[in-house]
Structure formats: C-alpha cells, structure tokens
Amino acid sequence: MSELREIDARGPRWSAGLTAIVLSVALVTKSPVVIAVQLVQFGFGAFATPPKSPYGILYRKLVQPRLPKTFESEDIRPPQFAQGVGFVFALLATIGALSHTWPLFTVATAFALFAALLNSVFGYCLGCKVYLLGVRLRHR
Amino acid sequence: MVTSSLIIGVIIAALVFGAIERSRAGRIKNISKGKHVIDASDIGTELGLVATILQFSSAFCAPCRITRGTLSSVVTSFSGIKHVEIDAEKNLELVRKLDIRQTPTTLFLNSAGQEIARAVGAPKRDQVISALELISHE
C-alpha cells in the first residue's frame, strides 16, 4: 500500500534479530523447511512491505505494545530493499538445501546471517552501500 | 561442531565489521584542492557565497535523512553557507565525475566550487563544523 511510507524504525531491527536466530537454526539443522520459512518472510518483506511480513506482524502484535510509545520513524524503502537482498540469498540457500548442494546452502545462509546481524546490532544500511553501485553498474 | 564455529565466526566478523564501519561513518577526509570543481550548472542552483555543502542521497538510505537534518541545522547557524541535496540516482553523470560510491556522501565546496573535503556516511554536527573551518581557514 503506497500510503504507508513511514514505519516504526524498531520493527526492522527486531525482525533482523529474529532473522539471525532463524538463519542460525537453519545452519545447524540444514532443514529446507527452516530456510523456506525465512524465504517466505523475505518475500513478504520485499514484495509486500516489511510491516505486512510475518515478523512485522509479530512485532506489531507482541513486541510494539510492550515498548515505549514514542519512537523514531523511518522511510519504508531502506528496510524493504534490504529484505529484497535477503530474499535473493535465502532463495539460493533454499535451492542449495533442496538439491543437497550444501556449499551453496552454507555460503548463502552465512552471508544472510552476516547481513541480519549487522542490521539488528548496528542498524546497518545495506541499501546505502550497494544500491548506488548497482545503479552505476547497470547504466554504464 | 563445524557449524557452530561457522556461526560464531560469522557473529564475530559481523561485530568487527559493523564496529569499524560505524567508527568510519561521517569522518571528514581532506581532498586535494582542484581535483573536483563544481559549478552552478552541475547542481542546478547557485553556489553558496562562502561554502556549499553538497549532499548525495538515494531512496534506500535511512542515514541520508539524518544527514539532511544535521546539515540543514548547521546551515542555519552560519551565513553564506548553502546545503544542496542531490538524488544520486538521477545524476549519474555527476556521480561518476565526482566518484560517489555510496549514500550519503557529503562534499564541502569553497566559494569557487572546489571540493575541499568530503564525508562518506552520516557526519555528526561537529564533523560538519570542522569541515567548514577547513574552508574558512584555507
């Protein structure tokens, strides 16, 4: 929905923390189901919006009511972009798990875990680092 | 066993990388004078009388908004200094000419449009003021 442009900035940080836990479980169990759960989360976050993703809904129902009412808001586009990057890695990891290509699964999941940790601990802005370079490469 | 060391390795790598990135964000870097010269036609508006703070931003960039707030507040406390924000994606030619690689990147220009310093990542208020002092002392 295009009218929703500003969201509670704590939501994506919390979701990234949950993502890091789910990805760690995926690495330990090598379970296609666990990595597929994360793939679905990234899919909703990227192609719907972060607040409409499963973790976004969990945040609003369970976490936000327990936090202070005043909060920093942020533009929805940076976290949505980051979910899109996550989707690509989770897709590769899911393909790796389903086809038993374990190096692909492990590397893709480890990269996604690295990005999720940076996001949850530091509020790292992935779009700031990679988006402009991507545009520069596409329009040579 | 191998998996748990991998997870611990990734956690340590992310913490170290994130801490380094955070400490580097917004740091003012001196630029040799005359390397990049910008005029009014490049940015679509007149330069500031004393200095111009040129901010490159993009849509998927949360710190760009923080930088906008910092810069517009600094600009109101000094006269002759102008803050200009540019959408990097829509000005790729200028982005390439000035070698802008990520957003926000902030350039500090003197009255002649010469780049004196730049900050990659969101600069803090005192970092912005120190960059402006470089221009006033040149």
Answer whether residue B10 is part of any domain.
Answer: no
At A43, the amino acid letter reads G
What local confidence, expressed as pLDDT, does residue B38 receive?
95
Answer whether residue B9 is part of any domain.
Answer: no
Q: List per-residue pLDDT tens for chain B, 138 residues long.
A: 788 899 999 999 999 999 999 999 999 999 998 899 999 999 999 999 999 999 999 988 989 999 999 999 999 999 999 999 999 999 999 999 999 999 999 999 999 999 999 999 999 999 999 999 999 887
Could you list the residue range(s) of the whole structural domain that residue B62 is in?
A: 26-136
Residues A38-47: what's their mean pLDDT? 98
- Phi, psi (5° rounding) for residue A31? -90, 125
Short-list B17, B46, B96, CA closest to A136 = B96
Q: Any CB–CB contact under 8 A between B54 and chain A?
A: no
Work out the burial of residue B102: count CB atoms within 10 Å of its CB; fewer than 13 is exposed, 13-18 middle, 19 or more buried.
buried
SS3 A52: helix
Sign of the CA dihedral running A101, A104, A107, A108: negative
DSSP A63: I
DSSP A60: I
Q: B49: distance to nearest CA of chain A, Å?
A: 30
Answer whether residue B86 is part of any domain.
Answer: yes
Distance CA A112, CA A93 (A): 9
Q: B138: distance to nearest CA of chain A, Å?
A: 31
SS3 B28: strand
Answer whether residue B49 is part of any domain.
Answer: yes
Answer whether residue B17 is part of any domain.
Answer: no
Residues 6 or more apart whose Cβ sits within 8 Å of residue A47: none
Cross-chain Cβ contact B10/A117 below 8 Å: yes
Q: Is residue A84's pLDDT more than 50? A: yes
Answer whether residue B48 is part of any domain.
Answer: yes
pTM: 0.89
Answer whether residue B20 is part of any domain.
Answer: no
CATH of the domain at B117: 3.40.30.10
- Max intra-chain CA distance, chain A: 49
What local confidence, expressed as pLDDT, does residue B58 receive?
93
Domains in chain B, number: 1
What local confidence, expressed as pLDDT, does residue A47 receive?
97
What is the C-alpha radius of gyration for chain B, rounded to an integer number of angstroms?
17
The shortest CB-CB distance from B3 to any of A28, A81, A121 is to A28
Q: Any CB–CB contact under 8 A between B39 and chain A?
A: no
> Looking up tokens 């600069």, which residue turns up?
B123
Answer whether residue B4 is part of any domain.
Answer: no
What local confidence, expressed as pLDDT, does residue B3 receive?
87
